[in-house]
Chains A and B, each alone.
Chain A
């Protein structure tokens, strides 16, 4: 059974879905992002430990910079919150009636729980450097 694909990725992006579509795209991007940087981190850690070469140290420096930490934190937090919302809706389909409200609730939680730690992170890294 061949998969037939009829709409290209970009043509799909041009569809003006509402928030749900934005969340879907962000969920995929953050998910792939997490896989990518955990992968890089593991590989770099391994090579660093075994051979101590410059490349892995360079990678680790990028990985440990506060800008990157911010990015990681954004991805993980977003992916976790969005995933929780999806799981809850799948387990209790009745919740889907309130999907728009749930989305706003999710953003509210996100803004608060992303805002405070990243504020402190930025503050400490700016003052210490």
Chain B
């Protein structure tokens, strides 16, 4: 109780990404559970095998799960709710993954300039992922 909030030191971003990693991880699990549950309730109980299930869990988009026999697959899923859901999921997953790669790279590459360049590259990769994902989800 004796301290005020620490002034932003150079690790503020590090802290934000640390938090992001934990919470995106938990949220992704929650999302996976939701899409699995909904896939079941749409009648997938007897029709889903493990690979199809994995597809649902990762990316519940009718585009992605083409050959599962869930009835009404495109009707049930291509509304605004699931589109936002999918975009959010990709946002979290890509962020989580790319930040993880950054962590590993920073640990094993010791040339500061190279690390800085790779960071920019990763950030652009993340942007590209997002644009691509939004395009696929909204326009196809």
Which residues of A pack against B, CB within 8 Å? 1-5, 9, 28, 31-32, 34-35, 38, 42, 46, 64, 66, 69, 72-73, 76, 80, 83-84, 86-87, 90-91, 117-118, 120-121, 124
**Stretch from B1-9, B38-46, B76-84, B104-112 at the A interface:** B104-112
Q: How far is the CA of A50 from the CA of B115 in the complex (A)?
A: 34
Residues of A within 8 A of B112 (CB): 1-3
Q: Which of B80-115 contact A (CB under 8 A)?
A: 93, 97-98, 100-101, 104, 106, 108, 110, 112, 115
B47: min CB distance to chain A, Å: 13
In the complex, chain A residues whose CB is within 8 Å of the CB of B97:
31, 34-35, 38
Inter-chain contact A84/B50, CB cutoff 8 Å: no
- Chain B residue at minimum C-beta to C-beta distance from A29: B104
B110 to A3, Cβ gap below 8 A? yes
The answer to whether B54 touches A87, judged by C-beta atoms less than 8 angstroms apart, is: no
**Which residues B16-32 have CB closer than 8 A to chain A?**
22, 25-26, 29
